[in-house]
Amino acid sequence: MRRVLHLEKIFISQYLKQTMEYKADFIVGVLGVLLNQILNLIFLQVIFSQVPKLAGWSLQQIVFIYGFALIPKGLDHLFFDNLWIVGQKLVRKGEFDKYLTRPINPLFHVLVETFQVDAFGELLVGVILLVMSSATVHWTLLKVILFVVSIPFATAIYTALKIGTSAAAFWMKKSNTITYLFYMFNDFAKYPVSIFNHLIRWIISFVIPFAFTAFYPASYFLTGKNVLFNLGGLVVISVVFLFISIKIWDKGISSYESAGS
Amino acid sequence: MSMIEVSNLTKDFRKTIKSPGLVGAFKSLIKPKYETFEAVKDLSFEVPKGEILGFIGANGAGKSTTIKMLTGILTPTSGYCRINDKIPQEDRQNYVKDIGVVFGQRTQLWWDLPLRETYSVLKEIYNVPDKDFYKRMDFLNEVLDLNDFITSPVRTLSLGQRMRADIAASLLHNPKVLFLDEPTIGLDVSVKDKIRHAIEQINQEEQTTIILTTHDLGDIELLCNRVFMIDHGQEVFDGTIKQLKNRFGHIREIEFELVNAEDANRLNFSQFGSAIEYSQNEKNVRVKFDSSKVSVPDVIRLTLSQVDVQDISVKDADIEDIVRRIFRKEAAEHD
Amino acid sequence: MTNFLRKYRPFVSAGIEEAIVYRANFILFALGNTLGAFVTYFLWKAVFQSSTNSSLNGFTFPEMVLYIFLSFFTGILTSSDGSSSVGDEVKDGSIAMRILKPISFTANYFYEEIGSKLIDVGVLAVPLFGGILIYQIVGEGTPVLNLVNLLLYFFSATIAYLINFYFNICFSFTVFFFRNLWGSNVLKNALVIFMSGSLVPLAFFPPVLQNVLKLLPFSSLLYTPVMLYLGKYSAQQTVSVLLLQIFWLIFFIFLAKIVWHFAIKHLSIQGG
C-alpha cells in the first residue's frame, strides 16, 4: 500500500510537470470547466424562477443533489481519466504493450498515469454547492460518517463503468464511444429520479447505475429515509460493478492482440 | 542451464473475413465471419545464459508475435516459454522485473519531459535503490553517451538519440534478459555502430542474455553468436551466421554503372544459368548471384567484356534476400 | 474498363468499410449526446407539471419539447470541426503545407468538412428530424407544421453553419498563444452553449441580458433558426434576424481573412 501511494505521488508530480509545459492552455481550461458548472447552475436558477418546487424537491435540495453528484464525478475525473485513452488508442495502436512489460499492475499503471487537474473545476463547484445547501440537511454524526464513506463507493461506480467499457477495446480495438455512451448517463444522476419515466429510472438504477452516485445517497442525507436501499444499495452496486469490471479487464488482457509493429 | 526455453510455442489469430462491397461490409458488421491465421507455429528452441540470439525473418514472418509472447504481452494459443525460470503469462509482474524490452518503432519515454525525468520514474517503477541507480546511470552514460541530451525534452531528440535513450531505459534495472526489436531501424551508419558497440558491451559486462530482431545483416554479423530464422511462423534455420551462409550460399550483389544506358541490351549472363539474375535502372545494372556457384571476378570480367562500365560496387545481400532465397530453394526442392 | 474496376474495387470497398466503422462510432457518439437532450426534456416536463401556468415565457410544453430536440439537432447540423484541424496542423507544423496550395485555405477546410458533414447529418436527420416531425403531427397541442417556417429554418441553419465555420477558423488561431487548443475549447464551448440558447431559450433570461445576447453572434448560431421553425417571429422580426445573421457571417468571413493574413506572417517569421 505504501508503494502504491508512493508511485501515485511520483506519477502525479510527473503529470503536473507535463501539464505545465502548456501552462496558459491549462489555466484557461480550468476556467472553462468552472464556468461550465456555473452556467449549469444558472440554468437551474432559471428553472426554479418558474416553479417553487420540482417534483416535490426545493431548489436547496436539488442544489445539494447536484453538488453531491459533482464530487464522485470529479474524483473519478481527477484520478482515473486515462481509461478513456485505453479505448481510444492505447489498444488499437498497440501502445498498451508498454504497460504489460512493467512490473506493476497494468490497470493500476494506466490509472495513475494521469492527474486531470481540470477536475478541480467540478470538485470546487461541488464543494461550494454542498456547503451552500448543507443547511437543508439535518446532520448527525452518523450522517457525517456515512457521507464520507459513501464518496469512494460512488466514485467506484464511475470508475467501474469506465474500466469495463474501456476493456471492450481488447476485443474490439476501439471502445471509447461505448464508454462515452455509458458515461453520458451520468447527466441523469444530478436530478431526482422521480422526474424520469420508468425505463430510464430502471436503467440508471440497475443497468448503468449512476443514480447511486448522486440522487439515492443524497436523498438519504436530505430525508434520512431508506438507508438500506439508498446507501446499502450504493455499497452493493459499486462493489459488484467494480468486481465485474475488473474481471472483464483481466479477461481482456489475456485476449489482447497488440498491433503489428 | 538455459535462460530461455521455448517449447512448441503457437499463436493463432482470429481474423474477420471481409466480403467485398457495400452489402458485404454491412454483413460483416452484423454477422462477422472469422478465419484462423497461424502467426507462429510450433516453435521450440533454447538460449543459454549470456548468448546473443539473432532472431530474423521477413516482414510478417511472426518475429514480433514471438517476441511479444516471450515478453508476456501476448498469450500463446498453445505451447509455452520459460524464461529465467518463470512462465511470463503466469507470473507477469514478477517476470518483467528481470527483463528489458525495446521496440524500435515505439518509445517508452515521457514525451514532453526532459529525458532525465523518465529515468527517475522508471527507477521508482522498478524499485531500483539509489546507489544502484547512480552506478547504473554512470555505466549507461558511458556506453550510450546520454549526457549530451539528458536534460532535453524527449520530443526534441533525434531518432538515434531517442533509440539510445530507450535502450538505456530498458537497462536501468539491470535485467537478465534483454529483448531488442529492430533497435537500429532507420538509423545512420555511425549511430548504428555506436548502438551495436553498446549492446556488445552490455552483454559482456553483465552476461545479459539478448534476443535481437533485425533486418540488418550487419547487426547480426557483428553481434550474434547464433541466428534463428523463421518464416510463415515456422523455424527455417537455427545455427551460426557462418552455417547460414554456407548452407544457403553467399548471395552477392554487384552494381555496375554503365557509360550508356542502352548498352544494357548487350548484357548476356546465360552461361551462368539460374544462379544469376539482373535488373536495370537507367545506367545502373544490379547483378545478384550465388557466389558459391559463380565467382565475383567471373561476373565482373564477363560484364566488362560486354559493355563499357563507369563504376563498380560489390555488396552483401541483406536478410530479406537470404530469406527469399531460402524460400525459392525450398519451393524448388518440393517441385 | 473492367480491368480498371477490378483494380480499384478493393480501395472503394475499403473506403466504404472505413466509412461504416466511422459512422457507427459517430452514431454511438451522437446517441450519447442525445441523452443530454432527454435529461433536459424530463426536467422541463417536471417544471411544467409543477407549474400552474400552461405557458412559461411564451413557451407551451409541446413548444418546449420541440425547442429542446430541434436545438439539439441544429447543434449537430451547424457544428464545425475546423478549429481542431487548424489547431492540430499548427501544432505539428503541417499548416505550412496549406500555404503552398494554390487554393484559399478556408475553401480547403470547407470542402474537407462538407462531405462527411452531409453524410453525418443525413444519417441523423432520419431518426431525429423524423421524430420531431412525427411528434409535431401526432402530438397534442403542438404547433402546426408550416412549410414556410421549415424553409426559413433550413435557410437560417445553413447561414448558422457558415457563421460557425468561420468563427471556428478564427478561434483556432488562439493555438498560437496557448500552444494547445484543449483549454480554450472547453471555455469556448461552455460560452457558446450558454449564449446560443442551446441550454435554455434566451427568452427565459432577464430582458436586458436577453437583448444583449440576441445581438451577439452566438444567438445566430442556434436560437434564430429554431425560433424561426417554431414561428415565433413576425414577418418584420424574421427579416431583421436574418439580416443580423448575414451581417455576422460577413463579419467572420472578413475576420478569418485578416487572422489568416497575420497567421501566415507569424508562420513565415517563426517557421511554424
Q: What is the pLDDT of residues B237-260, one digit of tens each?
A: 899 887 877 776 667 788 888 888
Q: In chain B, pLDDT over 90 holds for what percent of residues?
A: 36
Mean pLDDT of chain C, nearest integer: 83
pTM above 0.80, yes or no: yes
pLDDT surpassing 80 at residue C94: no
- Tell me the average pLDDT across C206-226: 93
| Residue with the larger pLDDT of the pair C69 and B291 | C69
CATH superfamily of B1-6+43-237: P-loop containing nucleotide triphosphate hydrolases (3.40.50.300)
Which residue of chain A has the CA closest to B91?
Answer: A103
* Residue B298 confidence class, pLDDT cut points 50, 70, 90: confident
Mean pLDDT of chain A, nearest integer: 91
Q: In chain A, pLDDT over 90 holds for what percent of residues?
A: 63
Instruction: Say yes or no for a CB contact (<8 Å) between C29 and A177.
Output: yes
What was the pLDDT predicted at B186? 81
Interface size between A and B, measured as CB pairs under 8 A: 71
Which residue of chain C has the CA closest to A43?
Answer: C200
How do residues C10-42 score in pLDDT, each as one tens digit?
555 555 556 666 677 777 888 888 898 999 999
What was the pLDDT predicted at C154? 93
* Residue B329 confidence class, pLDDT cut points 50, 70, 90: low
Give me the interface pTM, i.e. the ipTM: 0.87
- Tell me the average pLDDT across C97-119: 73
Optimal mutation site among B18, B27, B112, B156, interface C, most CBs of chain C within 10 A = B18
Closest CB to B18 among C9, C17, C24: C17
Q: How is residue A165 written as a grid cell? A: 467499457
- Tell me the average pLDDT across C190-200: 90
* Residue A261 confidence class, pLDDT cut points 50, 70, 90: very low
Which residue of chain A has the CA closest to B119?
Answer: A14
* Residue B274 confidence class, pLDDT cut points 50, 70, 90: confident
Which residue of chain B has the CA closest to A107?
Answer: B93
Q: How distant is the Cα of C30 from the closest Cα of chain A, in angstroms?
A: 9
- Tell me the average pLDDT across C137-150: 86
What was the pLDDT predicted at A162? 97
**Three-state secondary structure string covering A138-188:** CCCHHHHHHHHHHHHHHHHHHHHHHHHHHHCHHHHCCCHHHHHHHHHHHHH
Separation of alpha carbons B324 and B332, rounded Å = 12
Same fold, B1-6+43-237 and B250-315: no
- Least confident span in A54-68, C117-131, C144-158: C117-131
* Residue C254 confidence class, pLDDT cut points 50, 70, 90: very high
* Residue B4 confidence class, pLDDT cut points 50, 70, 90: very high
pLDDT surpassing 60 at residue B74: yes
Quickly tell me which residue has 541483406 as its cell. Answer: B318
What was the pLDDT predicted at B70? 94
**Three-state secondary structure string covering chain B:** CEEEEEEEEEEEEEEEECCCHHHHHHHHHHCCEEEEEEEEEEEEEEEECCCEEEEECCCCCCHHHHHHHHCCCCCCCEEEEEECCECCCCCHHHHHHHEEEEECCCCCCCCCCEHHHHHHHHHHHCCCCHHHHHHHHHHHHHHHCHHHCCCCEHHHCCHHHHHHHHHHHHHCCCCCEEEEECCCCCCCHHHHHHHHHHHHHHHHHHCCEEEEECCCHHHHHHHCCEEEEEECCEEEEEECHHHHHHHHCCEEEEEEEECCHHHHHHCCCHHHHHHEEEEEECCEEEEEEECCCCCHHHHHHHHHHHCCEEEEEEEECCHHHHHHHHHHHHHHHHC
* Chains touching chain B, criterion 3+ CB pairs below 8 Å: A, C
How do residues A98-126 score in pLDDT, each as one tens digit?
999 999 999 999 999 888 888 888 899 99
pLDDT surpassing 50 at residue A45: yes
What was the pLDDT predicted at C233? 92
Instruction: Say yes or no for a CB contact (<8 Å) between A100 and B94.
Output: no
| Residue with the larger pLDDT of the pair B29 and A51 | A51
Contacts of B156 in chain A (CB under 8 A): none
Contacts of B112 in chain C (CB under 8 A): none
Separation of alpha carbons B170 and B122, rounded Å = 9
Contacts of B20 in chain C (CB under 8 A): 9-10, 13
What was the pLDDT predicted at C5? 53
3-state class (DSSP) for residue C106: helix
Q: How distant is the Cα of B156 from the closest Cα of chain C, in angstroms?
A: 13
Q: Report, at the CATH architecture level, how domain B250-315 is classified.
A: 2-Layer Sandwich (3.30)
Optimal mutation site among B77, B86, B92, interface A, most CBs of chain A within 10 A = B92
Q: How distant is the Cα of C12 from the closest Cα of chain B, in angstroms?
A: 8
pLDDT surpassing 90 at residue A150: yes
What was the pLDDT predicted at B255? 87
Contacts of C190 in chain A (CB under 8 A): 32-33, 35-36, 39
Domains of chain B, by residue range, sit at 1-6+43-237, 250-315
What was the pLDDT predicted at C2? 56
* Residue C3 confidence class, pLDDT cut points 50, 70, 90: low
| Residue with the larger pLDDT of the pair C84 and C201 | C201
What was the pLDDT predicted at C14? 56
What was the pLDDT predicted at B319? 60
Cβ–Cβ under 8 Å, residues C249 and C166: yes
pLDDT surpassing 70 at residue C7: no
pLDDT surpassing 50 at residue B261: yes
pLDDT surpassing 60 at residue B335: no
* Residue C272 confidence class, pLDDT cut points 50, 70, 90: very low
Window 16-75 of A, Cβ < 8 Å to B: 17-18, 21
